[in-house]
Amino acid sequence: MTFSSVTFLFMLLPATFILYAVIRNNSARNVILAAASLIFYAFGEPVAVMIMIISIILNYLFGLGAAGKKWDKLSVLLAVILNIGLLIAYKYTGFFVEIFNGITGLSVPVPQIRLPIGISFFTFQGLSYVIDVYRDKKNVQKSLFSVLLYISFFPQLIAGPIVRYSDIADRLREREFSLERITRGLCRFIFGLAKKVLIANQMGFLADQVFGFAPGQLSTGTAWIGAVTYTLQIFFDFSGYSDMAIGLGCVFGFDFRENFDYPFISSSIQEFWRRWHISLSTWFKEYVYIPLGGNRKGKVRTTANKLIVFFLTGLWHGANFTFIVWGMLHGLCQMLETYQIVPTKKKWFRPIGHIYTLVIVIVGFVIFRADSLAQGFGVIGAMFWPTAGAAAASSEILSCVSPLSILAFAFAIVLSTPVFRLLRQKVAETKHATAYNYAAYAGSMLLFTLSVLSLVSSKYNPFIYFRF
């Protein structure tokens, strides 16, 4: 089930909200949220829900062990083995077998294992919980049910943001449910829904047309269309989902941290990663980079630690060399920036830095999107080495460009900058603040209507991060 499905929007969410509003007891409300979360996940993953529940139970037990003194280190080790082991078993077994076959020349059958949706997110949350308990014993949760709700809570279950237990521990016990939070949360949810349905889907359709052709058939123009539209698709798809998750959390009394902060205005790759997928970047910083030594042991060690983190970041996204190369590209650029080979700290470089960062990000996402490295480098070649491509391919791709997609592209460019945030801040300080709020509510209703109409009239509604 997805947030943008009719089943969720008009059945599960309203039913959950009504029950939650009618029942005032917080413990009973937690039961409602847990039940809704399990139904939400089991709707498309009836077998995988048992894997998640078993994982939660074991992480709960490891947390209890990590809270003691005798078995704390062993508990953390077992938690690492469990969570990383689950990822390897379900996500990377086939990939490793293919590598083994390529190295040895053998033909070991490649297992076809169905990847449980969201496994990369709920395993990271379970592991972070146990490690946080080990670091500070006061973080332990004696209630299995509370740990289950924390990990399985449906707004952030299948595509993040990755939430640390300490961030919501107090809210599991007591939280606010008010008209102001409901209104604010629903507006944020609708904004995210519109970003996903009205912008990401439009960009994704064009990107799919481009990547559906062999690189040799692409002209320079069509290759750039595919690269830019996919970059916008993945941003508005994932940031839209994060907006929906944050909005739903707000409705039910939880405050999730922001996951995106206008990454396309960055003037360096280091800044880009402070703004892109913030919860994942923070996770790797807290649980990999700092334990490796962080930046405390000189530039060489710092560079090595960053490259390790970006190798793992790429691998986390999927079992394909395209993701690894994507991660290492960003790691390499960070290394060049650390040594100031790319002079990002110079004031004169900042305007150039915006262009440099956008080019690296777009090129990187071409590799990220490609089915193979050969396809990725082929599309990049078409982007930078002028070619006419195949006339038939260009004609077919350009025929897919409609007034609606052009309008979506224009809004995508505007919404990639903090224009509306700055406008809202300025209006909030004036006498027009109330009128602005009413206009925002009316705009939200219009966006919701348009989003639903789009969902009903189109079958194209992918969520990119579901496969991670």
Torsion sign (Cα): 298, 311, 122, 194: positive
Is residue 293 one of the residues assigned to a domain? Answer: no
Same-domain check for residues 168 and 195: no
294 Ramachandran zone, left/alpha/beta (phi>0; psi -120 to 50): left
> Could you tell me if 62 and 76 are in contact, meaning their C-beta atoms sit under 8 angstroms apart?
yes
In the set 317, 330, 354, 432, the catalytic residue is: 317
Same-domain check for residues 363 and 233: yes
- Regarding pTM above 0.75, the answer is yes
Is residue 443 one of the residues assigned to a domain? Answer: yes
Cβ neighbors of 135 (< 8 A, separation 6 or more) are: none
- Residue 317 among the catalytic residues: yes
Q: What pLDDT is stored for residue 267 in this prediction? A: 94
117 Ramachandran zone, left/alpha/beta (phi>0; psi -120 to 50): beta
- Over residues 203-261, the pLDDT tens digits come to 999 999 999 999 989 999 999 999 999 999 999 999 999 999 999 999 999 999 999 99
Q: What pLDDT is stored for residue 258 in this prediction? A: 93
Same-domain check for residues 169 and 193: no
Q: What is the C-alpha end-to-end distance of the chain, expressed in Å?
A: 15
Average pLDDT, the chain: 91
Q: What pLDDT is stored for residue 302 in this prediction? A: 87
Helix, strand, coil abundance in the chain, percent, nearest 5 = 75, 0, 25
DSSP state of 215: G
What is the average pLDDT across 355-360? 97
Report for 139-143, 372-376, 464-468: range of highest mean pLDDT: 372-376
> Could you tell me if 464 and 238 are in contact, meaning their C-beta atoms sit under 8 angstroms apart?
yes
Q: What pLDDT is stored for residue 236 in this prediction? A: 96
Is residue 453 one of the residues assigned to a domain? Answer: yes
Domain boundary, last residue among 175, 207, 222: 175
What is the average pLDDT across 122-149? 93
What is the average pLDDT across 365-382? 95
Q: What pLDDT is stored for residue 212 in this prediction? A: 92
What is the average pLDDT across 278-288? 93
Radius of gyration of the chain (CA): 23
Q: What pLDDT is stored for residue 392 in this prediction? A: 80
What is the average pLDDT across 449-459? 87
Angle formed at CA 366 by CA 365 and CA 369, multiple of 5 degrees: 80
Q: What pLDDT is stored for residue 113 in this prediction? A: 86
Q: What pLDDT is stored for residue 466 in this prediction? A: 61
- pLDDT for residue 468 is more than 70: no
Is residue 330 one of the residues assigned to a domain? Answer: no
CA gap 324, 315 in Å, rounded? 5
Residue 70: phi and psi, rounded to 5, are -80, -40
Domain boundary, last residue among 148, 175, 202: 175
Same-domain check for residues 171 and 185: no
Is residue 41 one of the residues assigned to a domain? Answer: yes
- pLDDT for residue 423 is more than 90: no
CA gap 398, 93 in Å, rounded? 40
Token pair, residue 56, equals: 């939660």
- Over residues 72-101, the pLDDT tens digits come to 999 999 999 999 999 999 999 999 999 999
What is the average pLDDT across 431-457? 88
147 burial (CB, 10 Å; 0-12 / 13-18 / 19+) is buried
Same-domain check for residues 118 and 190: no
Q: What pLDDT is stored for residue 451 in this prediction? A: 92
Between 311 and 167, residue with greater pLDDT: 311
Q: What pLDDT is stored for residue 467 in this prediction? A: 60
- Over residues 284-302, the pLDDT tens digits come to 999 999 999 888 878 888 8
Is residue 143 one of the residues assigned to a domain? Answer: yes
Domain boundary, last residue among 175, 200, 227: 175
Same-domain check for residues 213 and 171: no
Same-domain check for residues 108 and 188: no
Same-domain check for residues 357 and 245: yes
Q: What pLDDT is stored for residue 326 in this prediction? A: 97
Is residue 43 one of the residues assigned to a domain? Answer: yes
- pLDDT for residue 44 is more than 90: no
The DSSP secondary structure of 71-111, one letter per residue, reads SHHHHHHHHHHHHHHHHIIIIIHHHHHHHHHHHH---PPPP
DSSP state of 67: T
**How many folded domains does the chain comprise?**
2
Is residue 361 one of the residues assigned to a domain? Answer: yes
- pLDDT for residue 174 is more than 80: yes
Give the domain extent around 372: 181-267+344-467
Percent of residues, the chain, with pLDDT higher than 90: 68
Same-domain check for residues 222 and 207: yes
Same-domain check for residues 125 and 223: no
What is the average pLDDT across 262-283? 95
Same-domain check for residues 255 and 396: yes
Same-domain check for residues 261 and 366: yes
What is the average pLDDT across 372-400? 89
